[in-house]
Amino acid sequence: MTTHTLEKSESSEAIPTRSSRLSLLLTPPFGPLLFLFIICVIFTVLPLLRGQEQRFLTVQNFALIFQQTAVVGVLAIGQTLIILTAGIDLSNGLVMALTSVITAGLAVHGFGPRGEALYVDPIVAMLIGLGVASLAGFINGLLVTRLKLPPFIVTLGTLNIAFALTRMYTTTTINGLPQPLLALGSAITVFGARVPLYALVMLVLFFVVWFILRETRIGRHIYAVGDNREAAALVGIPVNRVLLLVYTSAGFLYGIAALLLLARQENGDPQAGQTSNLESITAVVLGGTSLFGGRGHVMGTLIGALVVSVIRNGLTQQGANPIIQTFITGILVIAAVAVDQLSQRSR
Amino acid sequence: MPADYTTTPVIEARSLTKYFGHVVALDRCDFEVYAGEILAIIGDNGAGKSTLIKALCGALQPDSGQIFLEGKPVHFRSPMDARNAGIETVYQNLAVSPALNITENLFLGREVLRPGFLGRVLRMIDRKTMRTQSEEFMKSLKFRIQDMNVSVESLSGGQRQGVAVARSAAFARKVIIMDEPTAALGVKESRMVLDLIREIRDRGLPVILISHNMPHVFELADRVHIQRLGRRLAIIDPKQYSMSDAVALMTGAKTLANAEQV
């Protein structure tokens, strides 16, 4: 906002240039969706060219892709909310791990040192799990708003704390989960493919959060807080309350992800979620949400998460070394952040 | 409609004093602004302009003295208090949210909710109403914008500031305070904002304008409040004084001859 404002204004009054049309194509929601479409076409055509049986473009395979996306997808919803406020959450995978072992432990062993002490109803265990995850998010939010610490550092701290607490609670996998914890793993048949309920839970959550962000007052305030925090405060938006709500809701979503994880793995695994933080950030970034905050769409995150799953799935079917998928994901993340960075600079 | 100076001022301040440690920022400072006028406040750096403004918009509390809104004493503990009382402030350049569109910026923090269940329970916003209202409002201010759905970052600097000014005008019921509204703008850009300020004044809403830009002050203001050493030195009529007189007064190079003594 200094001397170059005038020149900039004159250029912005001109008709859309070629670069602005290009950036329209690259920016969400079109860019990520187009990209997802292209890789789907590639993996559909490849078996045809190589004379293989079509295994990619089948209902069963897409059901599998959704199933593989569910847990990281739900984590990435929470991550999207936080990144929209110009924050970041490194702790989500380990908060999920902590929640899942606590839920599993309570449901299987009950309260007490070796369990036998006090029986806990599995439903109560699930509610306690959701409470623990929400509390973890709430603590992140308090540290970010009250102590004004950078989210990166706060969640790096809570990442370690959650990891330690998980290991203090159990170092071994908790097996023999009771039925209510596995209920989300039961499947319904859609177009002849069996889709587990937890994959549908993910889709429902994406739609709910999409609706909230787009159509409700709090949704618009989340964007405003991430876009220009000072302006938001000046018009009277309770910035700290919005942030606290975002971090707590994200925690709640990590709790749901933990329940999906239990239903999917059918055990409580203290090793779970160690790379989920980066996977969820990857999904958000590939979905076109800006790390600078205030711009992006939660549906982009769904697409970003699907892109990672589709690449993994397609390469596996092509018999490629699975590590290539990680390599490609790395390149995509850098490319997506570069697009964000460049469009930020052009503003 | 010309301002009527025999009526009760919209905002009046008597003997405001504010200390920062041992420094006197405001020294028994008086102030008033009347309906239908643009009152400019000029003064050298450290004269207490921004302290005065912050006291009027609730951003800080004076140590002593009294503020009256339409004759009634008021105490603003926060900018929110002042805003709820109908006093809006336009800040230099922090005021807009670039990624949001014009309508969203105009209604930021004051979104209109959908009627009935959708609004009351789901807290859903009413896009259509907000869009129509903002279009009508911008038209009434003669502020030309083709599309209310473009993000504010795609506007020119002047248009952006125009959005910030329009937002304050839309919600101010008593007075608008503008702190250096043209400071970051070029010549053409400033013109647009100056026209907008005049348009707001003509609708009867008083405008308090803080500016270092003497040509803008002398072009727009109905009266000029000269602040010096924490006090109001004089109020002058810009038609009877030259810019160099005003600058000489505010820097102390010249003393009052026949300015309205206060």
Give the pLDDT mean for B159-182.
Answer: 89
Q: Which residue among B80, B157, B159 places its CB closest to the CB of A1?
A: B157
B149 Cβ contact list (under 8 Å, min separation 6): B101, B102, B103, B131
pLDDT at A322: 77
* Subunit contact A13:B156, Cβ cutoff 8 A: yes
- In terms of residue numbers, what domain contains B68? 11-93+175-183+205-261
Does a structural domain hold residue B37? yes
Strands B175-179 and B207-210: parallel
Does a structural domain hold residue B132? no
Q: CB A334: neighbour CB atoms within 10 A?
A: 11
* Subunit contact B93:A1, Cβ cutoff 8 A: yes
Q: Does an H or E element contain B18, and which? A: strand B11-20
Residue B43 amino acid letter: G
Does a structural domain hold residue B39? yes
Give the pLDDT mean for B55-66.
Answer: 92
Question: What is d(CA B40, CA A71) in angstroms, rounded to the nearest whole number?
Answer: 60
Q: Is residue A2 very low, low, confident or very high in pLDDT (cuts 50, 70, 90)?
A: very low
A216 shares contact with chain B (CB less than 8 Å) = yes
Does a structural domain hold residue B126? no
B80 Cβ contact list (under 8 Å, min separation 6): A236, B58
Per-residue pLDDT tens over the stretch A302-343: 999 999 999 999 998 888 887 888 888 889 889 888 887 887
- The three-class DSSP label of residue A261 is helix
CATH code, domain with B17: 3.40.50.300
Per-residue pLDDT tens over the stretch A55-85: 899 999 999 999 999 999 999 999 999 999 9
* Subunit contact B100:A2, Cβ cutoff 8 A: no
Q: Is residue A3 very low, low, confident or very high in pLDDT (cuts 50, 70, 90)?
A: very low
* Subunit contact A232:B83, Cβ cutoff 8 A: no
**Which residues in chain B are closer than 8 Å to A227, comparing Cβ atoms?**
97-100
Does a structural domain hold residue B170? no
Does a structural domain hold residue B52? yes
**Which residues in chain A are closer than 8 Å to B110, comparing Cβ atoms?**
235-236
Q: How many residues can be counted in chain B?
A: 262
Tokens of B179: 């702190």
Residue A14 amino acid letter: A
A24 shares contact with chain B (CB less than 8 Å) = no
- Going by the DSSP 8-state scheme, the letter that residue B101 receives in this structure is B
Question: What is d(CA A100, CA A259) in angstroms, rounded to the nearest whole number?
Answer: 7
* Subunit contact A227:B80, Cβ cutoff 8 A: no
- CB contact at 8 A, B174 and B10: yes
Question: What is d(CA B15, CA B116) in angstroms, rounded to the nearest whole number?
Answer: 49
Give the pLDDT mean for A251-280.
Answer: 95
Domain total for chain B? 1
pLDDT at B165: 87
- Going by the DSSP 8-state scheme, the letter that residue B114 receives in this structure is P
**Span between the terminal Cα atoms of chain B, in Å:** 26
Strands B223-228 and B72-74: unpaired
Give the pLDDT mean for B204-231.
Answer: 93
Smallest CA-to-CA distance from B163 within B128, B192, B126 is with B192
Q: Quick one: closest CA in A to B154, which residue? A: A12
* Subunit contact A216:B96, Cβ cutoff 8 A: no
Per-residue pLDDT tens over the stretch B2-54: 678 888 999 999 999 999 999 999 999 999 999 999 999 999 988 999 899 99
**Which residues in chain B are closer than 8 Å to A5, comparing Cβ atoms?**
156-157, 184-186, 189
pLDDT at A22: 56
Phi then psi for residue B87, to 5 deg, are -105, 120
- CB contact at 8 A, A187 and A199: no
Phi then psi for residue B17, to 5 deg, are -130, 135
- Residue B190 above 50 pLDDT? yes
- CB contact at 8 A, B177 and B169: no
Q: Is the ipTM of this complex over 0.90?
A: no
- CB contact at 8 A, A63 and A337: no
pLDDT at A36: 92
- CB contact at 8 A, A97 and A269: yes
pLDDT at A174: 93
Does a structural domain hold residue B166? no
Does a structural domain hold residue B191? no
Closest approach of A237 to chain B, Cα-based (Å): 5
- CB contact at 8 A, B204 and B1: yes
Strand intervals (E) in chain A: 187-190, 193-196
Contacts 24+ apart (CB under 8 A), A210-214: A210/A297, A210/A298, A210/A299, A213/A84, A213/A297, A213/A298
Size of interface A-B (CB pairs under 8 A): 97
pLDDT at B6: 85
